[in-house]
Amino acid sequence: MDFERLNAEMRRLALQAGARIMEIYGAEDFEVRAKSDDSPVTAADEAADALISAGLRDAFPDIPLITEEQAASHAQAAQTFLIVDPLDGTKEFVQRRGDFTVNIAYVENGVPLRGVVYAPAKGRLFYTTADGRSVEEQGPFGDQPGKTVPIGVNPIPDNRGLMVVASKSHRDAATDDYIAQYAVRDMTSAGSSLKFCLVATGEADLYPRLGRTMEWDTAAGDAVLRGAGGEVVRFDDHTPLAYGKPGFENPFFIAFAPGVLLVKA
């Protein structure tokens, strides 16, 4: 894989999709429909999906492509594939809370090696560079990359006072019970894959997810976090979260800075 080209294409398509999403977000009203699993979908999801899919298929025709909106056509991913969530955080989008993201990732042998996470309403753009390290680009965002700042996890989290990030839309008692086993300094809520990015930048130390997610929800944020020195492991046995699973459904997981001493499930 030419990672320089991959990086440029993922960044370009994420920004273009983000611009289209924001056009719809700024409209007075937009239609919200329910998919077969009762999750919401909007014209923004579909427009971003079409734009990113066309761009990736044109640039990398030989690499399998999995997207949330087209997942029904794929029984199982290959060893190497591109995976896209064109609008993660549709609930945040519908409620105009701003915590939604565009996500594109490249997976090889079960590992998300490269990824981009763009939060257009927040003006935040995170991605892995060609050498696998993670950065946050400073806006405004143009055709060519602007100033980038290397990001990294909190190198020595204080287990006596962790910063924890949890879901805005999917917080439950099981998650609260798990978090209660740690000494928490403070907590914040965020939607979509931004939670991975907050751990990647050191703005949070721990993100547990005890709820249903799919690989397209997590792959890009996982790649950014790994490139920043973080880890994502299964909740049950603390082995690395793997990709390319049948059906693309994730187990519960924990994203964290490596200095955090994880509590056994």
Name the binding residues: 68, 85, 87-90, 217
Q: Give the C-alpha distances (Å, rounded to integers) separating 238 from 65, 137, 254.
A: 28, 31, 8
Annotated binding site for substrate: 68, 87-90, 217
Annotated binding site for Mg(2+): 68, 85, 87-88, 217
